[in-house]
Amino acid sequence: MPRTRFVWRLYSSLYALAAIVLVACFWVASVELARLADAALLRRLTDALNAVTKLLPTDGGPVDAVAFTAAASSVQRTAQVELSLLDPDGGLVATTLPPASPDDAPGEAVALSLRSDSFLADARAGRPAITSSYDIARGRRILAMAVPIGPMGQPTAILRASTDTVRSDRELAESQRSILFRFLLCATAAAAAAAALAARLARPVRELAQAAADVAGGLSEGTLPTPDVAELTTLASAVHILREQLVERGLTIGRQDTEQEAVLDSMIEGVLAIDARQRVLGINRAAADLFELDMEADLGRFMQDVIRNPDLRRFALRAIDCREPVEDDIVLPGPRDRTIRVRGTALRDVSGEGGAVIVLNDVTDLKRLENVRRDFVANVSHELKTPVASIKGFVETLLDGAADDPEDRRRFLDIVARQADRLEAIIEDLLALSRIEQSEGAGTLPLETTPIAALLGEAATDCLPRATERSIRLEVECDADLQAAVNAPLVEQALINLIDNAIKACEVDDTIRVSARIAPDATGGTALEIEVHDEGCGIEPAHLPRVFERFYRVDKGRSRTLGGTGLGLSIVKHIVQAHGGTVGVESTPGVGTTFTLRMPA
């Protein structure tokens, strides 16, 4: 609702008080003037009656009408009153101004009041007999006074004097108008004085209110007014103390908000705060990136409107209702499903509505690494178990007597030697993979500018005997001037692994093509791109996402027969990643496979 200003309230109060005083004074003055006017008329009537009484004979006999008329006529001209002589019973004996026409006659009610019993009784008893009536017919007020002539209680006649109050009322009205005009002037002056006084009294209050508004608005500078009123001085001191406390508290809150914002923004975990109705109260950068939200635009919106995940919404309801912290794992679907570990803690504010704070931690990589570790342990155990079991079995056979037969001894020892070589190859590949991962993690891989054509040629030369043995052609395509900063031994090892796998996948008269070139990358720079293409059996699409995993084999029986350890492609991937590059594969079953290595040039 609208509020009135203090100055107007003060002004209206002062002016209302002045107006009440002036109205009361005007009323008292009007009443007093009316009383004085009536008193003047009564004195005139009294003087007229006394004058007539002195002129009448005093022998105690009845008053003669002629004598009365003579005496009253002389008095009436100077007193301007109507004089009448009445008998003791109130009958009219004589009068000085008889009505000239019926229109001038006093009304019946006035005539009755002039001869009323109470009026005549007061006159006969010698008391002042005074009456006043309003003549409706003539529109005037009649004032009358009567005195007895003769002994008290038994007068011989009653002398009555009356007059209208038209002139007196007119003079009274003029006096009242004059007084009213002067009072209006006083009221105007009082209004101006009240306005000036109200403004003067309200100025320190207004200044103090403005200072308080500035403090509420965050203005911490400037001097506060110092009014000379004790109560306002106390209030000003309180506002000054309040401003200092607000400034200090604002600095503390600002510092805490900055620290809290810095902490939340630096967290890799997402933080989401909601109220009891699941409206978003706060969100940090990690959570906004996780759900692709706008940190400012989505504040205050309902959670179901901005996060399209029913599992998270159900978890939020559970977090709001539970007093103890709750924890769960949810999956965010997408091109690459992500596993999010959520932990919710209920909030309880003073209003009792509450809410919850939900911490979200992306554990997709941890889950994947956990699965990789589990698979790695299982695969290593399985891969090592086979040659160890074979070696142990044949050694036990030899110990049981087969060593006495030269043919069996020779055959069994050859098998033990092959299994030992396979076991050694697995261990060497594991050690090589470990060294590459250490270099990749530390970023200490030594690089040297190397002619790429010579590097491809050395790798092809190393694999050429195995290719020639199976009648497979090896072709190398590379510009002789092409050079790049790489770790030559590791890249050569990666190429040997890829070419060796291609030889195992090809048939007689197939061709393996190794090429290298400089190509643009996604960032606008250039990259060294090496391709190893074969015309072998190819790889089914279902196997392509996992071919670079450790110990993963597309055809396990064929791979073991050809002497593979299942670590070759994993070593290739980590060598390329150690160079800051990527490796990809494209394959069509029955047509061939192409492995592409991309490394920064």
CATH code for position 543: 3.30.565.10
Taking the alpha carbons at both ends of the chain, their separation in whole angstroms is 74
Query: Do 371 and 392 sit in the same domain of this protein?
Result: yes
**348-378: pLDDT as tens digits:** 765 556 788 888 888 877 777 777 677 666 6
Which one, of 147, 119, 121, lies nearest residue 133 by Cα?
119
What total number of domains does the chain contain? Answer: 4
Tell me whether residue 290 is in a domain.
yes
Which of 45-54, 118-127, 219-228, 482-491 has the weakest average pLDDT? 219-228
- Both tokens of residue 144? 């009358």
Q: What single DSSP character describes residue 446?
A: -
**pLDDT tens per residue across span 131-142:** 777 767 667 778
CATH number of the domain within which 383 lies: 1.10.287.130
Q: Which 8-state DSSP code applies to residue 5?
A: -
For residue 265, pLDDT beyond 80:
no
Question: Of 448, 464, 459, 494, nearest to 597 (Cα)?
Answer: 494
Position with higher pLDDT, 147 vs 74: 147
User: Directed axis angle between helix 452-469 and helix 488-505, to 10°?
Assistant: 30
Q: What are phi and psi of 313, to 5 degrees?
A: -65, -40
Task: Assign 331 to helix, strand or coil.
Answer: strand
Q: What is the CATH number of the domain that holds 12?
A: 3.30.450.20
Whether residues 557 and 520 share a domain: the answer is: yes
Mean pLDDT, residues 64-83: 76
Q: Is residue 591 part of a domain?
A: yes
d(CA 14, CA 200): 13
Local structure of 128: helix, strand or coil: coil
Cβ–Cβ < 8 Å for 333, 347? no
Backbone angles phi, psi at 246, to 5 degrees: -65, -40
- Which residue type sits at 42? L
Evaluate whether residue 226 is within a structural domain.
no
Instruction: Note down the domain range covering 430.
Output: 365-442
Same domain, 168 and 287: no
Q: Give domain status of residue 247, yes or no.
A: no
- As a whole-number percent, the residues of the chain with pLDDT over 90 amount to 2
pLDDT at 99: 45
Residues 318 and 398 in one domain: no
Interatomic CA distance for residues 579 and 515, integer angstroms: 18
Q: What count of other Cβ atoms lies within 10 Å of the Cβ of residue 253?
A: 11
Which carries the bigger pLDDT value, residue 5 or residue 125? 125
Contact call for residues 161 and 144 (beta carbons, < 8 A): yes
**Residue 477, SS3 per DSSP:** strand
Note whether 530 and 479 are within 8 A (CB).
no
Among residues 442, 463, 485, the one where a domain terminates is 442
Cα–Cα nearest to 574, from 550, 601, 538: 550
- Tell me phi and psi for residue 278, to 5 degrees: 65, 35
Which H/E stretch holds residue 10? Answer: helix 6-55
Same domain membership, residue 434 and residue 358 = no
Name 347's Cβ contacts closer than 8 Å, sequence gap at least 6.
273, 354, 355, 356, 357
250, 218 in Cβ contact below 8 A? yes
pLDDT in tens, 540-571: 888 888 888 777 766 654 445 554 567 778 88
Max Cα-Cα span within the chain: 200
Q: What is the mean pLDDT of residues 494-515?
A: 88
Among residues 412, 442, 472, which one ends one of the domains? 442
**Do 420 and 524 fall into the same domain?**
no
- Lowest-pLDDT range, 93-102, 234-243, 486-495, 512-521? 93-102
Length of the chain: 601
How big is the chain by its Cα radius of gyration, in Å? 63
d(CA 544, CA 567): 15
For residue 310, tell me if it sits in a domain: yes
Per-residue pLDDT band for 110 (boundaries 50, 70, 90) equals very low
Rounded Cα distance, 367 and 505, in Å:
33
Are 414 and 440 spatial neighbours (Cβ–Cβ below 8 Å)? Answer: no
**Is the Cβ–Cβ distance between 514 and 474 less than 8 Å?**
yes
Global pTM value: 0.43
Q: What is the DSSP string of 67-102?
A: HHHHHHHHHHHHH--EEEEE-TTS-EEEESS--SSG
Mean pLDDT of the chain: 77
- Are 311 and 379 contained in the same domain? no
Same-domain status, 15 and 90: yes
Q: How far is CA 324 from CA 318, 329, 361, 586, in A?
A: 10, 17, 19, 51
pLDDT value at residue 116: 67
Question: Is 220 inside any structural domain?
Answer: no
* Dihedral, 37, 38, 44, 48 alpha carbons, nearest 10: 160
**Rounded distance, CA 547 to CA 565, Å?**
13
Q: Which residues partner with 129 through β-bridges?
A: 146
Q: Tokens for 175?
A: 């006096």
Q: Which residue has the tokens 């001869």?
A: 115
- DSSP letter at 542 equals G
pLDDT at 513: 92
Contact 29, 179 (CB under 8 A): yes
For residues 483 and 501, give the distance between their C-alpha atoms in angstroms, rounded to a whole number: 26
In a domain, 335, yes or no: yes
What φ, ψ does residue 343 adopt, rounded to 5°? -130, 125
Task: Name, of 12-16, 124-128, 479-483, the range with top average pLDDT.
Answer: 479-483
Domain final residue, candidates 344, 362, 380: 362
| 29/159 same-domain check | yes
Please report the pLDDT score of residue 103 as a whole number: 46
Residue type at position 538: G
Does residue 519 share a domain with residue 413?
no
Q: Which residues pair with 356 in a beta bridge?
A: 274, 346
591 alpha-carbon distance from chain centroid: 64
| 382 has pLDDT over 70 | no
Residues 406 and 538 in one domain: no
* Token pair belonging to 507: 């048939």
Cβ within 8 Å of residue 163, ≥6 positions away: 41, 44, 45, 80, 81, 82, 142, 143, 144
Question: Do 310 and 455 have their domain in common?
Answer: no
pLDDT tens for 290-318 read: 777 887 787 888 888 888 888 888 888 88
Q: Please indicate, yes or no, if residue 215 is contained in any of the structural domains.
A: no
512/463 Cα distance (integer angstroms): 11
pLDDT (mean) for 126-155? 76
What gap in Å lies between CA 531 and CA 492, rounded to an integer?
Answer: 13
